[in-house]
Chains A and B, each alone.
Chain A
Amino acid sequence: MSESEQLDADRIRTLLESEGDEIKENTRLFNAERYDAVEAVGEAEHEDNRSRAREIKEDAIERLPELVDRTREAVEANGGTVYVADDAADANRYISEVADDADADSVVKSKSMTTEEIDLNEALEADGLDVWETDLGEFVVQIAEEAPSHIVGPSLHKSREEITELFEREFDPDESLDSAEKLTAFAREYLGGRIDDAEVGVTGANFVMADSGSIALVTNEGNARKCASIPDTHVAVAGIEKIIPSVAELEPFAELISRSATGQEIPQYLSLLTPPVDTPAIDFDSEDEPGFGNSDADREFHLVLLDNGRREMREDDDLRETLYCIRCGACANSCANFQSVGGHAFGGETYTGGIATGWEAGIEGNDVAEEFNDLCTGCSRCVNACPVKIDIPWINTVVRDRINRGKDPGFDDMLVDGLMPDEEESGTPLRKRFFGNFETAAKIGSATAPLSNAVASTGLARKAMESVLGVDARRDLPEFERTTLRDWAEGRESPVEAPERRVALYPDVYTNYVQTERGKAAVRVLEALGCEVVVPDVGGSGRAPLSQGMIATAERKAEDVAESVLPYVEDGYDVVVVEPSDLAMFRREYEKLLPAEEHERIDQGSYEILEYVFGLLENGASADALPGGDGDGVAYHSHCQQRTLGLESYTETVLERLGYDVLTSDVECCGMAGSFGYKSEYYDLSMDVGATLADQFEAVADERTVVASGTSCMEQLDSLLSPGTRHPVELLDPAGR
């Protein structure tokens, strides 16, 4: 990527303006249809398919060498050829030779990301061949000389009007192509002739079945079928990771792939081909000869299995999961940032969206992944969207960590190393270390408040922060409290005499130093419901450093938390967490950071605050102890990670039980996601994402109290809407009303 294409504020703004509208509309449509389709089939059955798909992939990647051998045997027994290509050049050279042997002048292709990956078109064109993309979306980007912007819909960043303009300029048709129907008819005609004339048809393969040497192709247009059956020579190009043992294992994927991609129950065409197929060859030169021209040509089939870094990915404990990806694009569609800027910002040389970091790091290298990796905020909305349960945010974090470590230590490091108590190697960018060490800043800020707040808000300080740390001056900074939550709690006598339960309320960095009110409210609510509450002396969960890709630091924080918190769990305390992103650390990320047994105990022993309140009410605590809602309206925005964990409904239910009328936002994300929204190059994007949430709440903000579970959601909502935002637990606070 050239310097001018570097992802900065200007480039993001340009893409938001030029492609944002189309990307938004199309990805959100796919995403909404996916939700509907999953609901239609039933959550339980969908989960079952996901689990099976995951198992099959885990097993197939584990046994990959053996499956490659079996595939080769089966394809050869059928009369075809298998070629395992080490890299792009190797694959292209082989395919060129096949085209040469077929005396080809032209090649038709059906959509295949793998051939994008190896730049096959350029290679064949350099050999003097005409190459035509027959998938209409690919055809559009081919004519426009652009790169695909989405794994499933390569041209979904283009409006119908733009395509009309493009086609009329390029093809100068007799009549105007001013409707989708006319454009489609034109393309069908144009490409139909080219398919008939081509000597070689190239397809991808969504799945390769080792036992029979079959391939499965998923399309809606029918072009893959034509490319595979009309030219006498068929070349299927697939990454080696596409192999599954047999047709028996195809079933869950057949259920999942279209549902996840576009919300269809099944694609228009699910082709299971075992080439060379029995369909006769056509001899178009014998126009009037029955029997399809009575061709005596033999069908030829070549399966090109591409390695290009995949075998190394298989050995890599963190990148391996990427190979389970079935390229459905659901991670992109569920990603709020992707919904705004699309794959021309959120993607590398080939792959786009959440999983693109894994692919690009594996096949191109960390430097290509670096260009867009920071667009993943770790919100985790893609985690449940992925049909094979890939932990996409984790892959993004690991690659971020590797990118940090690969940096040259600069002059910055000498200055900062002593100040930043982290575990990072020198080289990690200063600004990442600043955000990653937010806990230190909060400690100092709180100890010196209110002076620290006053200083931080001066124009001079903001300018300095913007130029040195890239903290956007348009953002309000958090204001530190002089008295931390822990200080406050320490001086308190528990009013509960015979406690029903004992709670260790986890003082996350924000609740302890900034949003102390929500922490106090949480304590009073728990006490009103009969719990003894302590606020233990424990540091940050590691969320902040993890977001910056500082895994070693996050790991140390996790160990510290385990050391402080586990004795409470041992003593029969329940750990209750106010900040959802920290609870998500305990439940999800600690699996990667702590010994399994410690993770399990923390995971089992901890609860989100309203999840816990719900549990207390269910188990006999009386809601009368809390102030009622009297039918008042609440506009509630849950938190990305809270939703991924399936915890959104507890807050809704509790508020409803207390007599509130609850309206819940249904946008994927508020756009802030922690440090992301503070970074100047992402400010516009963050606000663009937030606009959807603002739209939903603006109309009701006057008559409803706006509440949000996460800190960064609250901050974003505060900057989007005028009335201040509160944490739901504050509505329950007996002292608050």
Chain B
Amino acid sequence: MSSGSVEQFQQSLSRLDAASTVVSPDELEATIADLADPPAIGAELPFDDLSLAETPVTLGPSPAQLRDAVTGVTGSRMGIASLGTVAVESREEGDEFVALYPERHVVVIKASDLRSDLADAFGWIRGEFEADRQSFILATGPSSTGDMGALVQGVHGPEQVHIVIVRDNE
């Protein structure tokens, strides 16, 4: 399975009007603190070595916090370089809500988890399905609609998307 390049992923994101930042693992907490316009909520990251615990985001928010949050931070275990897509997993941590309610969605993804294209991504998805992890949303850029007479971003989902790509430890 070929892996996608960070450069291509970032190019795709800029086409989608989505921001991106590349950081080393050490820089992650400071970067999240920077990007998380308060009030911010989060779903704990699906990685052993990275966590939101030390960042100014509220994990497992209350309904009121969910509704008031400006920023939502989630992790993603798969991104598609050619499309700028990230996978949001349906987990007990509530990623789905954290990714949908706030107007800004910050996504943490590892550079090594990038796939090159949709075909490559489907290889990964098939593997996940076999391992009984079977609910993902492939999210590409901010939510949008043309139904009101012009293209508008931020409908039922986020208006801004910011992807934080974590470089791998050498």
Residues of A at under 8 Å CB distance from B? 134-137, 139-140, 153, 155-156, 158-161, 163, 179-181, 183-184, 187-188, 191-192, 195-196, 212, 214, 220-223, 225-226, 229-230, 246-248, 250-251, 254-255, 265-275, 277-280, 282-284, 286-293
B61 at the A interface (CB under 8 A): yes
Could you tell me how many residues of chain B have their Cβ less than 8 Å away from some Cβ of chain A? 48
> Contact: B144 with A221, CB < 8 Å?
yes
Pick the residue among B63, B119, B135, B144 that contacts A268 (CB under 8 A).
Answer: B144
Residues of B within 8 A of A250 (CB): 122
Known A-B contacts A247-B126, A274-B134, A278-B91; A283 and B63 likewise in contact (beta carbons under 8 Å): yes
> Contact: A188 with B100, CB < 8 Å?
no
Contact with A along B48-81 (1 / 0, CB 8 A): 0000000000001111111100000000000000
Contact with A along B123-144 (1 / 0, CB 8 A): 0011001000011111111111
Residues of A within 8 A of B141 (CB): 268
B118 at the A interface (CB under 8 A): yes
In the assembled complex, the CB of A536 is this many whole angstroms from the nearest CB of chain B, namely 51
- Most chain-A Cβ atoms within 10 A of its Cβ — which of B122, B126, B146? B146
- Most chain-A Cβ atoms within 10 A of its Cβ — which of B97, B149, B152, B156? B156
A268-B157, A287-B63 known; 14 new pairs, CB 8 Å cut-off, are: A221-B155, A225-B157, A226-B100, A248-B122, A250-B122, A251-B122, A255-B118, A267-B140, A272-B136, A279-B94, A282-B66, A284-B63, A291-B60, A293-B63
How far does the alpha carbon of A188 sit from the alpha carbon of B158 in the complex, in Å?
A: 11
> Contact: A286 with B95, CB < 8 Å?
no
Known A-B contacts A180-B148, A225-B157; A278 and B60 likewise in contact (beta carbons under 8 Å): no
In the assembled complex, the CB of B39 is this many whole angstroms from the nearest CB of chain A, namely 13
Residues of A within 8 A of B122 (CB): 247-248, 250-251, 254
> Contact: A292 with B62, CB < 8 Å?
yes
How far does the alpha carbon of A290 sit from the alpha carbon of B83 in the complex, in Å?
A: 35
Q: Which 3 residue pairs of A and B lie closest in terms of their CB atoms, listed nearest first?
A: A160-B149, A222-B157, A274-B134
> Contact: B62 with A269, CB < 8 Å?
no
A-B interface pairs (CB < 8 A), number: 182
> Contact: B155 with A183, CB < 8 Å?
no
> Contact: B62 with A254, CB < 8 Å?
no
28 A–B contacts from the bound complex (CB under 8 Å): A137-B145, A160-B150, A180-B148, A180-B149, A180-B152, A181-B150, A184-B152, A196-B67, A212-B129, A214-B129, A214-B135, A220-B144, A221-B143, A221-B156, A225-B137, A226-B156, A229-B90, A229-B100, A266-B140, A268-B140, A269-B138, A271-B136, A278-B90, A278-B135, A279-B135, A286-B63, A292-B94, A292-B97
How far does the alpha carbon of A254 sit from the alpha carbon of B138 in the complex, in Å?
A: 11
> Contact: B157 with A221, CB < 8 Å?
yes
Residues of B within 8 A of A196 (CB): 67
Known A-B contacts A221-B144, A222-B155, A286-B63; A270 and B138 likewise in contact (beta carbons under 8 Å): yes
In the assembled complex, the CB of B120 is this many whole angstroms from the nearest CB of chain A, namely 11
- Most chain-B Cβ atoms within 10 A of its Cβ — which of A137, A184, A280? A184
> Contact: B63 with A269, CB < 8 Å?
no
How far does the alpha carbon of A343 sit from the alpha carbon of B63 in the complex, in Å?
A: 42
B96 at the A interface (CB under 8 A): yes
Residues of A within 8 A of B65 (CB): 290
> Contact: A247 with B125, CB < 8 Å?
yes
Known A-B contacts A160-B148, A247-B125; A279 and B96 likewise in contact (beta carbons under 8 Å): yes
How far does the alpha carbon of A699 sit from the alpha carbon of B64 in the complex, in Å?
A: 62
Known A-B contacts A268-B142, A274-B134; A225 and B96 likewise in contact (beta carbons under 8 Å): yes
How far does the alpha carbon of A137 sit from the alpha carbon of B146 in the complex, in Å?
A: 9
In the assembled complex, the CB of A45 is this many whole angstroms from the nearest CB of chain B, namely 10
How far does the alpha carbon of A668 sit from the alpha carbon of B168 in the complex, in Å?
A: 51
Known A-B contacts A180-B152, A225-B100; A271 and B137 likewise in contact (beta carbons under 8 Å): yes
B92 at the A interface (CB under 8 A): yes
B85 at the A interface (CB under 8 A): yes
Pick the residue among B62, B91, B134, B152 that contacts A272 (CB under 8 A).
Answer: B134
A251: nearest chain-B partner, CB-CB: B122
Residues of B within 8 A of A192 (CB): 156
> Contact: B63 with A289, CB < 8 Å?
yes
How far does the alpha carbon of A192 sit from the alpha carbon of B138 in the complex, in Å?
A: 22
B154 at the A interface (CB under 8 A): yes
> Contact: B146 with A153, CB < 8 Å?
yes
Contact with A along B89-130 (1 / 0, CB 8 A): 011101111001000000000000000001100100110010
Residues of A within 8 A of B66 (CB): 282, 292
Pick the residue among A135, A275, A292 that contacts B63 (CB under 8 A).
Answer: A292
> Contact: B60 with A292, CB < 8 Å?
yes
In the assembled complex, the CB of A10 is this many whole angstroms from the nearest CB of chain B, namely 28
> Contact: A279 with B139, CB < 8 Å?
no
- Most chain-A Cβ atoms within 10 A of its Cβ — which of B65, B94, B134, B142? B134
Known A-B contacts A248-B126, A282-B66; A136 and B145 likewise in contact (beta carbons under 8 Å): yes
B157: nearest chain-A partner, CB-CB: A222
Pick the residue among A134, A266, A268, A291 that contacts B143 (CB under 8 A).
Answer: A268
B147 at the A interface (CB under 8 A): yes
How far does the alpha carbon of A29 sit from the alpha carbon of B81 in the complex, in Å?
A: 27
- Most chain-B Cβ atoms within 10 A of its Cβ — which of A137, A222, A271? A222
How far does the alpha carbon of A156 sit from the alpha carbon of B147 in the complex, in Å?
A: 7
A291: nearest chain-B partner, CB-CB: B60
> Contact: A269 with B137, CB < 8 Å?
yes
In the assembled complex, the CB of A307 is this many whole angstroms from the nearest CB of chain B, namely 26
Known A-B contacts A191-B156, A229-B90; A220 and B61 likewise in contact (beta carbons under 8 Å): no
How far does the alpha carbon of A140 sit from the alpha carbon of B129 in the complex, in Å?
A: 37
Residues of A within 8 A of B143 (CB): 220-222, 268-269
> Contact: A274 with B149, CB < 8 Å?
no
> Contact: B149 with A163, CB < 8 Å?
yes
A160: nearest chain-B partner, CB-CB: B149
> Contact: B62 with A288, CB < 8 Å?
yes
Residues of A within 8 A of B67 (CB): 196
> Contact: B90 with A273, CB < 8 Å?
yes
Pick the residue among B62, B125, B147 that contacts A287 (CB under 8 A).
Answer: B62
> Contact: A272 with B156, CB < 8 Å?
no
Residues of B within 8 A of A220 (CB): 143-145, 155
In the assembled complex, the CB of A720 is this many whole angstroms from the nearest CB of chain B, namely 31
In the assembled complex, the CB of A250 is this many whole angstroms from the nearest CB of chain B, namely 7
How far does the alpha carbon of A250 sit from the alpha carbon of B129 in the complex, in Å?
A: 13
In the assembled complex, the CB of A247 is this many whole angstroms from the nearest CB of chain B, namely 5
How far does the alpha carbon of A411 sit from the alpha carbon of B60 in the complex, in Å?
A: 77
> Contact: B155 with A223, CB < 8 Å?
yes
> Contact: A266 with B138, CB < 8 Å?
yes
Contact with A along B18-62 (1 / 0, CB 8 A): 000000000000000000000000000000000000000000111
